[in-house]
A and B are shown apart, each in its own frame.
Chain A
């Protein structure tokens, strides 16, 4: 506590009107904060939920053709808001030697269109803005800023799994 001697020797007169204005502003601010802060939390809430990664089963490794990206499709159970539903995910798997497997997302790194492997041209094409990737997922041309995303993979009993949300 400050010693009372520091109190202003000549206190400024506050008029009744000034006091009321200040009190109203303070209460208004308090009410605004009491409603505004929960409102912000409420709106950004869904963006704050943590995603949990799981191993998702893709299929038999034997289905992967050596040297060319092979498409695997699988569905995952997802809870979005108040709805639980199946979402399909598609993954291109590439192996050069049957030992190491690379699993690439088919989601274009530009703005999220789905890329397709065109075997004759040995390229992935994004239909939206002419993004082109080579078979390892590196950008060949177009606007995509980075190579196709890759998933962590594992093989158990001849079955290929990827780690994803």
Chain B
């Protein structure tokens, strides 16, 4: 954007400085494993886009959830494609996040001064797992229903307050309309908000502290 418009906007936004800080920063000589973070970010973006598209038709109530999902996959043009991306993207998110974490762990990249980047990263892993868990219920088919029955039941194992926590998670004793609605709410509001907030800190720190070099075998 070496154009007039680019200059006009740069005078007002200073976007060239921002661009340079994000994309033109110096990085050490690294390898392909260092792309795992970006890959995770890419799939996360894909999940946000396809997720927003799915909410255009999906209805989180027991009497319409399954029918609306069927409508998306069988009646709408490219509905199978959008849902397919979101479905497989969910698995890809978990796999990529864990691989990214392993790379950071084995390269010792979590050490000073990057401890906070690491902590937000671990929290992001929890968010991703939360997305997977809550999203799994939404199609409201047999697999979703029983997987969530079993999954939430695990909470009850916690000593003392376990059974009470289970009631909170389900919004009652059994899986019901309340469960579906709250899982949906957590999936599309609570977790995305947490994801964006943590991601912002995570990315800011990556840019501020730079990325670590590949550790070398010398001393």
Contacts and interface: CB of A to CB of B under 8 A. Distances in A.
A89 to B, nearest CB: 24
Secondary structure of the B contact surface, majority rule: helix
Contacts of B57: 81
Interface stretch (A39-47, A68-76, A100-108, A149-157): A39-47
Given A35-B46, A38-B82, A39-B82, A81 B53 contact: no
B78 interface: yes
Contact of A38 (B46, B68, B81): B81
Interface stretch (B69-77, B140-148, B169-177): B69-77
Interface string A25-42: 000000000010011011
A42 B53 contact: yes
Interface of chain A: mostly helix, strand, loop or mixed: helix
Contacts of B67: 82-83
A119 interface: no
B79 interface: yes
Nearest to A35: B49
Contacts, number: 42
Nearest to B77: A41
Nearest to B72: A42
A14 interface: no
A43 B70 contact: no
A143 to B, nearest CB: 33
A151 B6 CA distance: 58
Contacts of A7: none
B64 interface: yes
A58 to B, nearest CB: 31
A155 to B, nearest CB: 37
User: Chain A: interface residue count, which band?
Assistant: 10 to 19
B64 A42 contact: no
B5 interface: no
Contact of B82 (A42, A46, A48, A82): A42
B81 to A, nearest CB: 5
B78 A46 contact: no
Given A35-B46, A42-B53, A43-B53, A81 B77 contact: no
B56 interface: yes
Contacts of A45: 75-79
A38 B56 CA distance: 14
Nearest to A42: B78
Given A42-B82, A82-B64, A83-B64, A48 B77 contact: yes
A45 B49 CA distance: 18
Contacts of B81: 38, 42
**Which A-B residue pairs are the 7 nearest by beta carbons?**
A38-B78, A82-B67, A41-B77, A82-B71, A45-B76, A45-B77, A42-B78
Interface of A: 35, 38-39, 41-43, 45-46, 48, 81-83
Interface of B: 46, 49-50, 53, 56-57, 59, 64, 67-68, 70-71, 75-79, 81-82, 85
Given A42-B81, A82-B68, 8 more contacts: A38-B77, A38-B78, A39-B82, A42-B82, A43-B53, A46-B76, A82-B59, A82-B70
